Amino acid sequence: MLIDDLQAYLDQAKHKGFTPRPRYYELGDYLTYLWKADRCIATRVDNHLTLYHSIEDESLVGLKISGVAESLGHDMDILAYKPPHTK
């Protein structure tokens, strides 16, 4: 039943495409930025940096930065930017 409901939703859902832009997740206090819509593998560099490499050609396609609020001294106004197309 659940699979059928999910498939019905996916069949009618409209895909908006990939938009490369950074995204901040307050609950986990991390920022991700994927600039290419490839399937990727994550490689953790240290406690703050994770790199995403394409499975296809191993090129760098994104990154994750952890501990953003801590690094900015909890001055999160810098992350309040909203692109012109959002409200």
The answer to whether 79 touches 24, Cβ cutoff 8 Å, is yes
Average pLDDT per 10 consecutive residues for the chain, totaling 87 residues: 73 77 90 93 96 95 91 62 52
- Tokens standing for residue 3: 């699979």
Residue 16: per-residue pLDDT:
73
- The model's pTM is 0.66
Amino acid 55: pLDDT: 94
pLDDT at 68: 87
**What pLDDT is attached to residue 60?**
96
Q: So where are the chain's domains? A: 17-79
Pick from 34, 73, 70, 75: nearest CA to 52 = 34
Structure tokens, 2? 């659940």
